[in-house]
Structure 1
Amino acid sequence: MQLVVQVKLLPTPDQGSSLEATLRACNAAASEVAVVARNTGVYRNYHLRKHVYQAIKTDHGLGAQAAQHVIKKVCDAYKSLKANIRAGNLGKPGSKRRRNAESNPISFRWNAAQPYDARMLSWQHDARTVSIWTVHGRFKGVAFTGSPDQVKAVATLPVGESDLVRRDGRWFLYATVEVREPELIDPDGFLGVDLGIANIAYDSDGTRHAGTRLNGYRRRQARLRRRLQATDTKSARRLLVRRRKKEARHAANVNHTIAKTIVTEAVRTGRGIAVEDLTGIRDRVRLRKPERVTLSSWSFHQLGSFLAYKARRAGIPLVEVDPRYTSQTCHRCGHRDKRNRPDQETFACRSCGVVAHADHNAALNIAQRGVEGWGAVNRPHAA
């Protein structure tokens, strides 16, 4: 399996200026290629190369590999755009946003990530430096740093394509590394995980990962943003720019911690992990206006992706189950009734009388569906 490892570059001022010029040249070329692709209706890499390859090399001073990566980047961007349009992520047919996406060429920010391959980037792990291509020539001895795990990963694992990224005035390389994937275990049951807003995750063992602190943190950040936007001074705008990704980084760290805890427990007990398939939940759920912000900021997809790759690295099966009625169905007797859930936290079965936390009851149902789904696929003839 492939993982992305982030390392921080420590260029000198001259090296930093050349890296910036490189990103500007590559993304200006990408925007021009996107216009040609839109005007000609050619979006396949090989065919588009015939229209633009020589021109962007000459006009923007790009090397052969950089020019090919620019063209591929444009083709990939249009492929993603087409997929988003097909999935309805840019609105219904005829909507203003969708019309703009379908008619206007894609444009690239000057600091959009630029891919590098082994011909353009090489690693000197002993010196902890890289040799990297720029429009001003190849720079050797550009220092990099990272956590011990990150540095070890790029030094010991096969490194594929890397992306050069400038973020908040700092330089990074996002390196793709190949990790050997262990065989999946034959699970002894499943650990069900109910994902939510009040509780970010609640598993079938009764472990709760409350969302109170994270939701409170998000509300404080929203209030601070409103105050800074209302102030609208130069220093307030500068502070807004500095803080713009702080909330996202904090939420990602919380999700990493929760996912690691869940996978560790599954490994310890030899079980698989069962989660709800929440695809399209934002389109299905109808909420009052004050609750829409909370749902929009709910990063359940990110937590699910963290669970998926951490489980794969550990050899733990992860299955997605149908989420319908998990919160209304009794895990003990199977009775389903809307009235079984009188409020957000409480589950009280009107048939057998069992009382439990609503999310714990849902997690137990998810665990049972995980067992049934796994058995149906992997042991179809078991007695």
Structure 2
Amino acid sequence: MKLAVRVKLLPTPDQAVALDATLRVCNEAATWLSVRALECGRTSRAALQALAYVELKARGLSAQPALHVLRKVADAYAALPAKPKAGKPVVFRSDGAQPFDDRCLSWQLEERTVSIWTTSGRLKGLAFTGQDEQLAVLAAHRKGETDLLRKDGRWYLLATCEIPEAALNATPDGFVGVDLGIVNIATTSTGIRCSGRRLGRRREADRLLRAKLQRKGTRSAKRRAKQRAGREARRTRDINHKISKRIVAEAQRTGRGIALEDLTGIRERVRLRKPRRVPLHSWSFRQLGTFVAYKARRAGVPVVYVDPAYTSQECSQCHHVDRRNRPSQAVFACQACGFVEHADLNSSHNIAARGWWTWVRGAESQAPALPLTG
């Protein structure tokens, strides 16, 4: 499987100027080529290379960067859901990511530096940094292109790594059900509960601060808002990584699979009162599910998705479904058999059971073939 490992570049002021000029020239060339491609009606890689390779080199690009610009434009048009409208070419931002291959970018992992092509010449000794775990993956599995990008004034490299997958556990010993929520971000049928109260308070404080800065509207308020931009998204991403890692480790340790709720379209289906809409629409359930899925794939843990309907109202013991089974957010009390449990834990047991039946129905039969009779 492919993963992108991000490392942060630490350029000197002169190196930063060279990197900025390189991104600008590459993306201006890509926009120029996009216009030409639309005018000529030729958007394939081969057609674009025959059309504009020489002219791209005349715009200050070397051979490999010119080829990468050609491919970037061709891939952009290939990814469009429909044919581009006349007069509306794909436009590339001046700071859009630019791919580099090993001819344009070389790594010195022990020294934690890279040598990279720029329009001002080859930059050598460009320092980078990253987490030790990420750098270990980079050293062992880097393969393919690397993207140079700038975000919020910082420079990064996104390196493609080919990670070997563990053999899939085809006979899991049950499933770990994962109930996703707001008060508790994730609750598993094995007893793991990741509370969201503290995070919710921080998110509410951030929201109020953003509103205050927007109302103020001064230059310093805008500068402060820009400095804080992305902080909440980075915090959410970090928490989702930690939760997903813990869930996958638990499933791998117990020899089980993972059952997740299929929450596609939940924001359109669910109708909530106004105070509860902000938490629902601001938390990234899809991101958490994606992190669980790719970490599980890497570990060889099977993942299934189940229908979440009535998992919070169904008794995990007698399977009686009743809205009254949920007298409060945290309490589940079955009206039929009297079973009492934490509501999220009860839901996670229902999800685990549905995951098992989904797996059994979809798995290949292990029964021996019947003997032929004459």
1:291 aligns with 2:290: no
Relative distance call for 1:130 and 1:300 in structure 2 (3 A) is: same
Gap regions ≥5 residues in structure 1:
86-99
| Aligned partner letter, 2:34 | A
Q: Which residue identity is paired with 1:34?
A: S
Closer, same or farther in 2 for the Cα pair 1:234/1:122, shift >3 Å? Answer: same
Percent identity over paired residues: 54
User: What are the residue-to-residue correspondences of 1:1-383 with 2, within 5 Å?
Assistant: 1-59=1-59, 61-82=60-81, 104-185=88-169, 186-382=171-367
Deviations 1:195-236 (A, max 9, x none): 112221111123221111122111111111111122222222
CA distance in 2, matches of 1:342, 1:51: 69
Alpha-carbon distance, 1:379 to partner? 4.3
Label 1:67 to 1:287 Cα distance change in 2 as closer, same or farther (>3 A). farther
What TM-score do the two structures reach when normalised by structure 1? 0.88
CA distance in 2, matches of 1:297, 1:236: 23
Give SS of 2:125's match.
Answer: strand
Q: How many residue pairs were aligned?
A: 367
Q: Distance in 2 between matches of 1:315 and 1:296?
A: 32
Segments of structure 2 that go 5 or more residues without pairing to the other structure are 369-374
Deviation at 1:154, TM superposition (A): 2.0
Give the whole-Å Cα distance in 2 for the aligned partners of 1:72 and 1:352.
64
Q: Report the Cα offset of residue 43 of structure 1.
A: 4.1
TM-score when scaled to structure 2? 0.90
- Most deviating of 201-210 and 340-349: 340-349
User: Would the aligned equivalents of 2:38 and 2:86 in 1 still touch at CA under 8 Å?
Assistant: no
SS at match of 2:243: helix
SS of structure 2 residue aligned to 1:131: strand
Distance 2:235 2:270 in 1: 26
Deviations 1:84-116 (A, max 9, x none): x9xxxxxxxxxxxxxx99984332221111111
In structure 2, do the counterparts of structure 1 residues 111 and 190 end up closer, same or farther at CA, with 3 Å as the change threshold? same
- The structure with the largest alpha-carbon Rg is 2
The alignment yields a C-alpha RMSD, in angstroms, of: 2.4
Counterpart Cα distance in 1 of 2:35 and 2:188:
50
